[in-house]
């Protein structure tokens, strides 16, 4: 496990050498927001990192319903019963076992593991533009139909989940890097992912925080390069 802090953003990384899974803690003035909960074994380290910062966890946000992002929600919510759990509205349907596609969505099968045993249900569902403290929600489909990214309006740090990867090579979701193929193999719609990547690059983030891989400072040139290199089909 590894902890990295830049300003108000703390990255907690599990298995950093071979299969990095990142969770994030965003520090607000009086409390903390956890973004993604990792796996069930991640809870203790998240709580320890929060304790070191010295503020209570007020919000728990999950970007999408894949196991490596939502798998720790039950234990974390049990440990922090007064926290508010947020999930994108479209991802709640996946969590409840509905993998049917909606009008206007790429009609290709949804991929990746969605856990069946999660007991927690969101206290609030999110739609594009919602705010949680300093974080603004951005609808970011592609990896899954309802995935969301979040930009910190104070620092312009972009928490982009699996819209890109920064391990085994830098790439847009769905553009497989065989040294670490798992995010690519679990991506639902490559064309949608590329459109989302363009949208996220337009925010001109100062820091890019992803589900897999190191924090990246001044990431826009690499984001643009990855978009240009991504196959369109």
Cα gap 16→211, rounded to integer Å: 11
Count of domains forming the chain: 1
Closest-CA residue to 213 (of 160, 174, 144, 175) = 160
For the chain, the 3-state helix, strand and coil shares in percent, each to the nearest 5, are 25, 30, 45
Cα gap 34→11, rounded to integer Å: 10
More confident residue, 39 or 232: 39
Range of the domain at 42: 2-229
Residues 137-159 pLDDT 10s: 999 999 999 999 999 999 999 99
Q: Which pLDDT does position 232 carry in this prediction?
A: 67
Residues 103-139 pLDDT 10s: 999 999 999 999 999 999 999 999 999 999 999 999 9
Model-level pTM? 0.97
Residue 112 sits in a domain whose CATH number is 3.60.15.10
């Amino acid at each position: 496990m590894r902890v990295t802090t830049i300003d108000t953003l703390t990255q907690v990384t599990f298995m950093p050498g071979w299969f990095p899974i990142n969770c994030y803690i965003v520090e607000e003035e009086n409390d903390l927001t956890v973004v993604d909960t990792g796996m069930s074994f991640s809870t203790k380290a998240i709580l320890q990192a929060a304790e070191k910062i010295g503020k209570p966890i007020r919000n728990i946000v999950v970007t999408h319903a894949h196991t490596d992002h939502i798998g720790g929600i039950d234990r974390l919510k049990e440990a922090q019963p007064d926290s508010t759990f947020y999930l994108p509205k479209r991802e709640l349907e996946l969590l409840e076992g509905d993998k049917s596609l909606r009008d206007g969505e790429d009609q290709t099968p949804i991929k990746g593991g969605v856990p069946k045993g999660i007991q927690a249900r969101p206290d609030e569902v999110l739609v594009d533009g919602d705010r949680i403290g300093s974080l603004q929600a951005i609808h970011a489909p592609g990896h899954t139909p309802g995935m969301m990214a979040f930009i910190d309006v104070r620092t312009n740090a972009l928490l982009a989940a699996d819209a890109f990867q920064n391990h085994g090579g830098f790439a847009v979701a769905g553009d497989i890097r065989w040294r670490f193929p798992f995010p690519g193999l679990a991506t639902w719609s490559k064309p949608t992912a590329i459109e989302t990547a363009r949208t996220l690059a337009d925010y001109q983030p100062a820091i890019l925080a992803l589900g897999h891989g190191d924090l990246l400072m001044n990431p826009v040139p690499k984001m643009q390069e990855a978009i240009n290199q991504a196959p369109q089909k």
